[in-house]
Amino acid sequence: MQKIRSRKEVFNFSAGPAVLPTSVLEKVQAEILSYGGSGMSVMELSHRSSWFIEIIESAEVLLRELMAIPDNYKVLFLQGGASLQFAMVPLNIAPNKKIGFIDTGVWSAKAIEEAQKLGGYDVRVLATGKESNFSKLPQIGEIPTDLDYLHITTNNTIEGTCFFDVPKTDVTLVADMSSNILANAYDVRDFGVIYAGAQKNLGPAGVCVVIIREDLLELNTNPLPTMLDFKIQAKNKSLYNTPPTFAIYVMKLVFEWSKQVGGVAAIEKNNRTKAGILYDYLDASTLFSSPVDKSCRSLTNIPFITGDKTIDSDFIKQATAAGFENLTGHRLVGGMRASLYNAFPIEGVYALVDFMKKFAEARGEK
């Protein structure tokens, strides 16, 4: 069987689906035809089989260990991505239909829009970063105590900002943690609900992790569609219907890798080093710059610009030819973006900076 090619050949800066650890992909390759001596691929295993039950239970145990998830929180592996949670969360834990949002960019705006679509909800935007074009986090004033919950996006994949310290409030805090779960250390006890699409730091697309405090499962007393009911999903341990079995299997392997490399603390330290290499160059360059305020720069998603769309386009073209994939900025903001998720190798950051220096020097810049 041909071995997967070395990661050194291409550096993948995709914002998601994103780079996975090479060792995880090699393990998947080795087990793809027969998992655990079963004679069946993971993709062929019954989700009721002992093989898969061991996979999903191990995945939960590992995630609980990595994030220090208290016993009074349920861990769910659901479908529909983080986008489904924009509606599922209010339906389940907002009995008074009063929700507060901190607007920090595209994904928080989508969460706000979905809550408004439900009808009858008092949706309040308590702070917004629109004035700064979302280049920094907004100042958060007094948080009303009558809210069912306050929603934040901990890391803004498109805008490149991050909450390193979350709002302190007695109101239940809900977080979309899709792009920096396991990348930044947070205290789960600060949140009532954490949800995250897997395709950035946790595994392949197709599964969304939801971590929810048990008491919140009792808030909704109205009938909900079965698949949108947290209580039913928790009661059935994410197995009410066929879950995304292959995605959960790969996610379990990523959790094993995360533990092996030292857990969240070690991963965050490495992420700070990787991001620091690129930010230091951007701050010193006369051609490239970061549009994000230094107080809240993301460790995982780093937008950068030249200020000239023609130069940006030329840079992306040359970078792609040199093996630096997926550096094009989001279509809504333009420029470039380097996503340095947990599995992205530090060698790729050094290589990118070297390439950027040469590109700048060819234009008489640094």
Q: Which residues form the catalytic set?
A: 107, 176, 200
323 with 316: CB under 8 angstroms? no
**Is residue 170 classed exposed, middle or buried when 0-12, 13-18 and 19+ CB atoms within 10 A define those classes?**
exposed
DSSP states of 47-102: TTSHHHHHHHHHHHHHHHHHHT--TTEEEEEESSHHHHHHHHHHHHH-TT-EEEEE
Contact call for residues 35 and 246 (beta carbons, < 8 A):
no
325, β-bridge pairs: 12
Q: How far is CA 68 from the centre of its chain?
A: 18
| Sign, CA torsion 58/59/62/65 | negative
Rounded CA-CA distance 4/26 in Å is 7
d(CA 128, CA 159): 13
Could you tell me the end-to-end alpha-carbon distance of the chain, in angstroms, rounded to an integer? Answer: 46
In angstroms, the CA 353 to CA 317 distance is 16
